[in-house]
Amino acid sequence: MTIIETPRLILRPCQESDRDLFYELSSDPDVLEFFPFRRSREDADAVFDIIGTLIPEAGFDLLVLTLKQSGEPIGFSGLSKPKLEPFLPENAVEIGWRLSAQHWRQGYASEAGTALLRYGFETLKLDEIVSIAVHNNHRALAVMQRIGMHRDPAGDFDHPDIPATHPQLKQHVLYRLSAMEWRRQQEQAAPN
């Protein structure tokens, strides 16, 4: 069971009490601006039930971001192994996040992302972590940049799971960060 603590957040495994938050983040048009669908309550509950039956590989839980001060859940984050061959290597590890719109612009996604990179590189000993987003999802791209990731234009691709009815969402960009680059960033940021 993965639990990660940051100055303002606790990232913990998903539990039954997070069902309403999952629905909120699966149906809010602002949160889902760059997704081709919104889920009904019934659909969101069905997906949540499936998530609850999965036994994740160690370190690849769906984590809930909770505010340390109040315990309020505000979003989801985590590391995952996407199935996007040939666009991503078979063993790729992706970092992602989705926060309630009322908690945007407060640095929580960057704080969680930074902690997950540390966890991925120090604890899981990963060689690289990637992230993808729709090409004009400026909020997500800004978080990727703030946490030290860099764009790999040669890795951009049209997402195969986006239906033809949403052509504006097909083009995805790839950001990546290697363990070596991350260690170098940590050394440069360390006080002298």
Angle, CA 110 vertex, CA 191 and CA 126 arms, to 5°: 80
Q: Give the domains, in start order, of the chain with CATH numbers.
A: 4-189 (3.40.630.30)
Encode the chain (192 residues) as per-residue pLDDT tens digits: 789 999 999 999 999 999 999 999 999 999 989 988 888 899 988 888 887 777 678 788 889 999 999 999 999 999 999 999 999 988 899 999 999 999 999 999 999 999 999 999 999 999 999 999 999 999 999 999 999 999 999 999 999 999 999 999 999 999 999 999 999 999 998 876
Tokens of 140: 């997500």
Buried b (16+ CB within 10 A) or exposed e, 140-168: bbebbeebbbeeeeeeebebeebeeeeee
pLDDT reported for residue 192: 66
Neighbouring-strand partners of residue 174: 132
Report the SS3 class of residue 187. Answer: helix
The Cα-based distances of 34 to 56, 61, 83, 164, 172 in angstroms read: 26, 23, 19, 14, 11
Tokens of 67: 């505010």
pLDDT reported for residue 55: 66
